[in-house]
A and B are shown apart, each in its own frame.
Chain A
């Protein structure tokens, strides 16, 4: 629902995928080749998600009655 841009995973999707990967890697019947692939993917999610967390600044927008979405100016304390 909240893709930040085309083809890029949202933080939620990334975290969910990461949990999936971990669960799969914990399973006993995994082969080394698959584990390696999952490991690489997982590491990239950890890295990217970490960057998202570190860099993000709350983006606040307002939905108007006519359906327009505009940037919301509020006082930042």
Chain B
């Protein structure tokens, strides 16, 4: 700044120039400058005399034009400077700084000739101190969570394949909820949906989101929870970059799908969650299977059941056939020696029996011969006969016969019927 004072010789602000004008004013032919000339001269003065510099102050009246250029004021207790940050530099900013954020900027002092206003054209913008820019807070929290291991991939749980209940933590008025419900209706209409409404932006939103999530988890109803909101400015999404939300997600026993803002917005919530979805609708795609895919799977499963059953039963049938064959072989093997033994035994037995019968026969015949010797038949053979009454008594005496009685007479080769005609000669003592 001192150079403005020290640099001389720049018309019309050099001492001589001013004096000249005064002289001109008092005399007759005043030199008249056009506005453009003055501004051009001031522009040149500023450009050539003031080096690029760092300026610190608080942000005020931050605006971003359609083209992406940012305009704001930098102020302290007593003064302010208009600042411009053109889109090429402004696009590098992680966020628009909030009103009152302490920052420092690096740039050059120049003149906006069209307005005759001087301004600071900002090249770099950095947060001043601990609080301030989102980026700083984001990075700090990320670093902390990372050290605790909460961002590790192996903490991420698989989402359930067929969730019955889907929990949703978002604003009941938000576009995200409408998108989520629409996608759920189309994709997984069998699910039960449990919504826990919460503010998703503004003062205290992070705590509310964390509480809502914890309460929903504590019902033990959801199998998976979608946490998020639709797109918005970095400020709008900020609650999802705050620690309470990160802690609640990390503590949840239920898998969490985080869907905050648009594809390009990555939040702390996304980093801690089990699954990061680019948008609310893609969160639904991650959380539930498509009804058509499921129906297809069912059909497939039906076919598979039939096929496997057929395979098992065919396998079983051939097993039975094979088993029977093997059993037969086994039986054969087991019984062949036995059968042969049996055959041999039978033959022996027969031979033995024959042998025995022959002996028996001979013995019997001998016996019969001896018996025959004792039999009355033998006597009969010699010409005697035996008379018997019809009831089988042996008639020995004449007294046993009466005139006209019929009796049986046995001779050696059979029986005859006889009739008593009368007593014969002799005394009847001899028969």
- Chains A and B bind each other: yes
Interface residues of A (CB under 8 A from B): 1-4, 10-12, 15-16, 18-19, 21-22, 25-26, 30-32, 35-36, 39, 42-43, 46, 49-50, 52-53, 56-63, 65, 67, 69, 72, 74-77
Q: Which residue of B lies closest to A21 (CB)?
A: B305
Assess whether A50 is in contact with B298, with CB atoms less than 8 Å apart.
Answer: yes
B177 to chain A, nearest CB (A): 8
- Known contacts A49-B298, A62-B196, A63-B219: does B312 contact A56 (CB below 8 Å)? no
CA distance A13 to B163 in the complex (A): 9
B141 near A: Cβ within 8 Å? no
- Known contacts A12-B161, A43-B302: does B182 contact A62 (CB below 8 Å)? no
Contact with A along B215-258 (1 / 0, CB 8 A): 11001111100000000000000000000000000000000000
The 6 lowest CB-CB distance pairs between A and B, nearest first, are A2-B164, A56-B190, A25-B308, A12-B162, A35-B312, A32-B316
Contact with A along B179-199 (1 / 0, CB 8 A): 001101100111111111100
Known: A1-B220, A21-B305. 6 other contacts (CB 8 A): A22-B305, A25-B308, A35-B312, A49-B298, A52-B190, A58-B188
CB-CB under 8 A from A74, the residues of chain B are 177-178, 181
CA distance A67 to B194 in the complex (A): 12
Assess whether A59 is in contact with B295, with CB atoms less than 8 Å apart.
Answer: no
- Known contacts A35-B313, A74-B178: does B305 contact A12 (CB below 8 Å)? no
Assess whether A42 is in contact with B181, with CB atoms less than 8 Å apart.
Answer: no
Assess whether A53 is in contact with B308, with CB atoms less than 8 Å apart.
Answer: no
Assess whether A60 is in contact with B193, with CB atoms less than 8 Å apart.
Answer: yes
B358 near A: Cβ within 8 Å? no
CB-CB under 8 A from B188, the residues of chain A are 58
CA distance A3 to B156 in the complex (A): 25
CA distance A49 to B258 in the complex (A): 29
Q: Which residue of A lies closest to B320 (CB)?
A: A32
Assess whether B298 is in contact with A46, with CB atoms less than 8 Å apart.
Answer: yes
Assess whether B194 is in contact with A53, with CB atoms less than 8 Å apart.
Answer: no
CB-CB under 8 A from B163, the residues of chain A are 2, 12
CA distance A14 to B207 in the complex (A): 38
**Residue in contact with B181 in the complex, picked from A18, A32, A57, A58, CB distance below 8 Å:** A58
Q: Which residue of B lies closest to A9 (CB)?
A: B164
Q: Which residue of A lies closest to B177 (CB)?
A: A74
Assess whether A39 is in contact with B309, with CB atoms less than 8 Å apart.
Answer: yes
- 29 example contacts (A-B, Cβ-Cβ < 8 A) are as follows A1-B164, A1-B165, A2-B163, A3-B164, A12-B160, A12-B164, A15-B161, A21-B305, A22-B305, A25-B309, A30-B312, A32-B313, A49-B294, A53-B190, A56-B191, A58-B184, A58-B185, A58-B188, A59-B193, A60-B181, A62-B197, A63-B196, A63-B215, A69-B219, A72-B172, A72-B193, A74-B177, A77-B178, A77-B182
B27 to chain A, nearest CB (A): 82
Q: Which residue of B lies closest to A35 (CB)?
A: B312
Q: Which residue of A lies closest to B294 (CB)?
A: A53
B291 near A: Cβ within 8 Å? yes
CB-CB under 8 A from B178, the residues of chain A are 74-75, 77
CA distance A74 to B313 in the complex (A): 53
Assess whether A12 is in contact with B302, with CB atoms less than 8 Å apart.
Answer: no
B301 near A: Cβ within 8 Å? yes
